Amino acid sequence: MVMSNAQKRVFSIKIPRAIGYLFTLFILSLGTALFFTYEQANSLETNSQTLSNQLMDKQEELKTLQSKYQTLLTNANQTKQKIDKLVTLQQEMNQLVTDDNQSQKGMGGDSLNIQQLNFSSDEQSEKSEKVEDLQTIQQSISTLVNEYKETVSELKSVQKELARLPSIWPTSAREITSQFGGRSDPFTKSISHHKGLDIAGPYRTEIYATADGRVNEARRNGGYGNFISIKHSSEYTTQYAHLDEIFVEPGEKVKKGDKIGAMGTTGRSTGVHLHYEILVNGEHVNPLPYVLVEH
């Protein structure tokens, strides 16, 4: 309502009720949209931080294993060098004892007994020292050989652990078209949980085993299309879907980096890509933190 003092008239402006309702609804909708946008931004930031932490954890795990492997390898090489030197020294000491024996007149026996040798006291003392040195060398060699065996055993264990850890890209392609987690289903458009990583590439791009293991499945598997599942250890399993062709058989052993198939678009797929999954103790996890090393 507007009032004019000069003319002493009253003007009344009426806003239709429907417009008022629409305006109120618009404000509420805008507020809701802003709230959800804010929440989504916070969620994305949280997810990004979580993924970043996972990447750092896996990189640190791999770095620790590689460092341990390198340390063990260095220790094994150093121990082997010590053994080689002691073996050489043992051969030289054996030769000295043999030379001394041959310098004496004929005598025999089934073992070396210093007391039985007809030496002067100085010669006998020198001979005893040589034999004691030889015995010390033999004991040192035995100790080092045991140490070397233990180091090599541990080295093989770490090497096996590294080989069974999925840590390389499953293909030479690098275009990630769908991340792990919640997404809009490409067919139904509804929100669903995506259990793996989609990597697009040219038709029949080679697919690699990401760790040593044994093929559990290699077959046509419903929406997965041509599908491979590899068991790497009691902890890790990897799965590869929508392949154009499978190169392995169930029960076959594979090594990290072996070619196991070709990229395709079989099964429930919108185009050529690899669907890659990692399961840890039977639970699907985000594969991205494990894709650490170039093939």
In eight-state DSSP terms, residue 171 is B
Q: What is the pLDDT of residue 97?
A: 61
| AA letter at 69 | Y
Percent of the chain with pLDDT over 90: 37
pLDDT at 102 over 70: no
In eight-state DSSP terms, residue 164 is T
Q: What is the pLDDT of residue 263?
A: 98
pLDDT at 129 over 60: yes
Closest CA to 83 of 147, 130, 134, 131: 147
Its sign, for the CA torsion 45, 49, 51, 52, is: positive
* 39 against 174, higher pLDDT: 174
Query: 45-49, 73-77, 203-207, 232-236: which has the highest mean pLDDT?
Result: 203-207
